[in-house]
Amino acid sequence: MDKIDWTLLVQAGNFVLLIVILQKLLYRPLQAILDQRQTRQDNAEQRSQELEAQIAQQQQAFDEQLSQARQQAQQARSAALEQAQKQEAQLLGQAHDQAAQTLAQVRRDVAAQVEAEAGRLQTLAVQLGDEVAARLLGRPL
């Protein structure tokens, strides 16, 4: 170890030359590939975040449309129910009016029959009275 000979300088030169050659042939291309990979990964991550944001916006729009559709369906259901109730009330009113007319007609018919029967009974009562009187008197009236 006393002396440093010229082979050490040659080895040092070879080492430096090897580092320069490896730098140009291996390290720089490898670093460029790693940089490209990192760039692609960053771009993919950014694209993923953009897609997630779009999905969130679309989901929100879908939820709003669904909510509006439910509101419209509820309004349509309420309107249909209200119209059905009005129609039911109208039909019930018509049925009530018709029943009242039928009842009035039946009452008129019954009253007419009662009058006719009362007149007939009156006639029969007079005839019966005449017959009873004729039998009691023993002669025709």
Task: Count CB neighbours of 83 within 10 A.
Answer: 10
pLDDT, tens digit (0-9, with 9 covering 90-100), for 51-108: 999 999 999 999 999 999 999 999 999 999 999 999 999 999 999 999 999 999 999 9
Quickly list DSSP for 21-90. HHIIIIIHHHHHHHHHHHHHHHHHHHHHHHHHHHHHHHHHHHHHHHHHHHHHHHHHHHHHHHHHHHHHHH
Average pLDDT estimate for 126-138: 82
- What does pTM read for this prediction? 0.48
SS3 label, residue 95? helix
DSSP state of 139: S
d(CA 117, CA 104): 19
pLDDT, tens digit (0-9, with 9 covering 90-100), for 92-106: 999 999 999 999 999
pLDDT of residue 138: 79
pLDDT of residue 47: 95
Classify each residue of 41-70 as buried b or exposed e, where b means 16 or more C-beta atoms within 10 Å of its C-beta.
eeeeeeeeeeeeeeeeeeeeeeeeeeeeee
Domain ranges of the chain: 1-98
